[in-house]
Amino acid sequence: MSLSYSTLPGDIDHLIADDHAIVERQFQHLEAGRGNRRVLVDQISFELALHAFAEETVLYPLWDKLGMSDDKADAQSEHQKLKELLVVLDKSEPGEAGFEQALTELIAETRHHVQDEETKELPEFRDKVGAARMAELGKEFIAAKRKAPTAPHPAAPNEGVKEKIAGALAKPLDQAKAALTGKKKELATDASGLLHPQAQAIIDAHSSLGPLPFEILEPAQARKQPGPREAVLKVMAEKGLEGPEQVGSVEDLQVPDGAGGTQTLRVYKPDGVQANAPVVFWVHGGGWVLFTIDDHYDDSCRGLTNKTGAIVVTPDYRRAPEALFPAAHDDVLSAYRWTVANAASFGGDPTRIAIGGESVGGNMSATTVLALAEAGEQVPVAQVLVYPVTTGEQFGESMEDAADGRPLNRALLSWMAMHYLEGMPEAGTDPRIDLLGWTEQQRAAMPPTLVITDERDVLRSQGQEFAKRLSVAGVATTERYYAGAMHEFFGASAVFELAEQAQQEAAQHFLSAFGPTADAHPTDGTVTIAPASPGGTA
C-alpha cells in the first residue's frame, strides 16, 4: 500500500507510510524465505514498538476530538493484537510451530491495519486536521519514537499520558534486555540476504557499534552516531589493514561560501603531481544534514586522487537545519567558481576540471553544472553522479524494494529532506531538487556523464531514470549498476571490491575527458548496465 495523495517529507502521514513500507519489505523477505529470519523479526518488533507508541500518543488522542472514535477503537484493538503476536515471536524461534503461526498472523494483521490507515483513516485525518498541521505533528511523531519502549508491552496503557509514563519506565528495561541478548547489535544491519558478502560485513560492522536509528534523532544527536566510515574502519582493523589511503598531500583552504562567509575547500594532490594537473571537484553526501569532508568521503577523495593522478578538491558546505535550502547548493556553486578562478594557485588546470559527488553530492554536482550553463560559463569536462538524488518525490520501484535498506532507508531519506527543505513546500519542484523535471534543453547542457547506482538503495530508480533522460537528450551517458551493493558503498574500496571497481570506473571516466582520448566518449547518448551478478567473496 501507499498513500494516494501528495505529502511533504516531514508530514506525519508521510512518516507513517514510510514505516509501513519498511516493515512490508521485511515481511516480503520472510515470505520469500531469504535473509536472517530471527533478525528480521526482531527488527520488525523494534520498528512496530516505536511506531505503535508514537501513533498511540500523538495521533490517536486527536481522533476523538475529530469524530474518529470508532477508527481509534479499531486501530487500538489492532495494535493490541500485534503486540500480543510480537511477544509470542520474541519467546519462540524460527521453525517452531508457534513462531511460524504467529508470524503468519502478524503479517496478515499488519497488512489489514496498514490498508485501513492508508486508504481511509489517514486521508480522513488530513482532511479534518488540515495539511498545514501535518508537519508539526510529524515532529511530535518522531519525538515520541525517541521516548518509546523498544519492545511490545501488551499490558501497558495504549493512549495518552498513561502510555507515555509506561513507555518511559519500560524503555530502559527493554534496552537492558536487548543488550543482554545481543539484539541491539543487529538492529541496524541489513538482514535481507541480498547484499554481497563484503557489503554485508560492512553493514554488520556498523550495526555492531550499536547506533540508534538516525531518523528518530535530532540532527545534533545523529551526527554523534557511528557512521559508514566507522564501519569500514572496524572491518579494516579486523583484517589487519591500515589506512587511510596515502596521497601526496592534503591541504585545507578557506574559500567563499554562498552567503558572504567562508567554507573549507580540501585539496588532495597525488605523489609527483605536475603543474597544470587536471582537477576533480568532488561533493560529499549526507542528506544535506549529516557528515562532512572528514567522514568516509575522505576515502573517496583519496581513491580518486590516486586513480586519476588529478588534484581532487572537495567543499565542506553548510548543513541543515542550521542552513536551509538552498544554502548547500549555493556553497557548492561558489566553491566551484572559486576553483575555476584559482586552480592555477594550487597547480591545477582551469581548462580541465571535472565534477562529481555522492548522494546529495551527486545532486549538487549536476545542479552546479546547470547553473554554470545557464549563466553562460564553461561547464566541467565530465561528471560522475554516484547514487544521486534527482527528485524530491518517492520515485520508482526502489522506494518499495529497498525501503528497508541500510544505511539509507526510506524513513531516513524523508528525515533528511524534512530538515533541509523545512518550511519550503515549493522546494520540491525547484530545479535544484527536481532534476527529473528538467527540460530537454537543460539536460542537454550536461557534459559526458557516468551515473553509478546500486541494488539496496532507495535512490536507485531515480538515478537510473535521470541517466535515461540524459541519454534521450543526447548526452553521452553511462549508467553502472552494482547488484549486492548498498548506499554509501563507493568510499569503501579498502574492504569492498565493488567499491574499488566503481572508483576505477569513475577515474576512467574522468581520465577520458582529461586526456587526448576525451573525444572517445560517444556523442549520441548511450546507457550501459554493469553485470547484475558481480560475484566475489568475503
Task: Give tens-digit pLDDT for 424-441.
Answer: 999 999 999 999 999 999
Residue 515's pLDDT is 86
Confidence of residue 1 (pLDDT cuts 50, 70, 90): low
Residue 11: pLDDT band with limits 50, 70, 90 = very high
Q: Is 526's pLDDT higher than 90?
A: no
- Whether the per-residue pLDDT at 156 is higher than 60: the answer is no
Report which secondary-structure segment, H or E, holds 436: none
Grouping H, G, I as helix, E, B as strand and the rest as coil, residue 395 is coil
What's the whole-number mean pLDDT along residues 70-76? 95
The band of 7, judged by pLDDT with boundaries at 50, 70 and 90, is very high
Q: Does pLDDT of 538 surpass 70?
A: no
User: What pLDDT, on the 0 to 100 scale, is given for residue 153?
Assistant: 60
The three three-digit cell numbers of residue 443, written as one number: 539536460
44 within domain boundaries = yes
Query: pLDDT band for position 524 (50/70/90)?
Result: very low
Angle at 288 between CA 207 and CA 229, to 5 degrees: 35
Q: Is the domain of 73 the same as that of 147? A: yes
Confirm whether 381 is domain-assigned: yes
| Percent of all residues in the chain with a pLDDT value above 90, rounded to a whole number | 87
The 3 state secondary structure assigned to 457-512 is CCCHHHHHHHHHHHHHCCCCEEEEEEEEEECCCCCCCCCCHHHHHHHHHHHHHHHH
What gap in Å lies between CA 458 and CA 399, rounded to an integer?
5
Cα dihedral angle (402, 404, 405, 408), rounded to 10 degrees?
Answer: 110
- Cα 98–400–53 angle (5° rounding)? 55
Model confidence at 525: pLDDT above 60: no
The reported pLDDT for the residue numbered 429 is 94
359 a catalytic residue: yes
pLDDT computed for residue 185 by the predictor? 85
Element (H, E) at 360: helix 360-374
Segment 5-23 mean pLDDT: 97
Task: Give the span between the Cα atoms of 424 and 147, in whole angstroms.
Answer: 28
Residue 220 within any structural domain of the chain:
no
pLDDT at 220 over 60: yes
Dihedral sign for Cα atoms in the order 267, 268, 274, 280? negative
pLDDT of residue 155: 55
Same-domain check for residues 291 and 142: no
Q: Which of 130-139, 164-173, 261-270, 286-295 is the least confident region?
A: 164-173
* Same-domain pairing of 384 and 501: yes
For residues 179 and 257, state if they share a domain: no
With respect to residue 344, please indicate whether it lies within any of the assigned structural domains: yes
Instruction: Say yes or no to pLDDT of 154 above 90.
Output: no
User: In terms of domains, do 170 and 261 share one?
Assistant: no
Structural domain including 454 reads 249-520
Question: Which CATH number does the domain housing residue 254 bear?
Answer: 3.40.50.1820
The mean pLDDT value of the chain amounts to: 91
The total domain count for the chain is: 2
- Shared domain check, 512 and 381: yes
Residue 179 has pLDDT above 70, yes or no: no
Statement to judge: residues 167 and 253 lie in one domain: no
- Is 401 annotated in the active site? no
Residue 166 has pLDDT above 90, yes or no: no
Which of 138, 158, 187 is a domain's end point?
A: 187
Mean pLDDT value across residues 15-37: 98
- pLDDT at position 532 over 50: no
Catalytic residue among 401, 457, 512, 521: 457
Whether 404 maps to a domain, the answer reads yes
Three-state DSSP class for 128?
Answer: helix
Q: Which CATH number does the domain housing residue 34 bear?
A: 1.20.120
465 and 357 assigned to the same domain: yes
Do residue 297 and residue 414 come from a single domain? yes
At residue 172, does pLDDT exceed 50? no
521 counts as catalytic: no
Phi, psi of 165, rounded to the nearest 5 degrees: -65, -45
Q: Give me the catalytic one of 45, 207, 359, 493.
A: 359
d(CA 368, CA 55): 41
Residue 231 falls within a domain, yes or no? no
Q: Give the distance from CA 389 to its chain's centroid.
A: 9
Would you say residue 258 lies in a domain?
Answer: yes
Contact 366, 432 (CB under 8 A): no
DSSP string, 29-60: HHHHT-S-HHHHHHHHHHHHHHHHHHIIIIIH
Contact by Cβ (8 Å): 449, 477: yes
Q: Going by C-beta distance under 8 Å and a sequence separation of 6 or more, which residues neighbour residue 62?
A: 125, 129
CB atoms within 10 A of CB 127: 11
Q: Is 412 helix (H, G, I), strand (E, B) or coil?
A: helix
Regarding whether 414 and 266 lie in a shared domain, the answer is: yes
- Residues 56, 126, single domain; the answer is yes
- What percent of the chain clears pLDDT 70, i.e. is strictly above it? 89
Residue 414 reports pLDDT greater than 90: yes
What average pLDDT does range 252-261 have in this prediction?
A: 98
Residue 371 domain-assigned?
yes
State whether 157 and 264 are in the same domain: no
Classify the C-alpha dihedral 314-320-322-324 as positive or negative: positive
Least confident stretch, 74-83, 147-156, 234-243: 147-156
Per-residue pLDDT of 454-481, as tens digits, reads: 999 999 999 999 999 999 999 999 999 9
Write down the pLDDT at residue 534. Answer: 36
Sheet architecture: strand order including 477-486: 249-256, 262-269, 311-315, 277-283, 348-358, 383-386, 449-456, 477-486
pLDDT of residue 531: 35
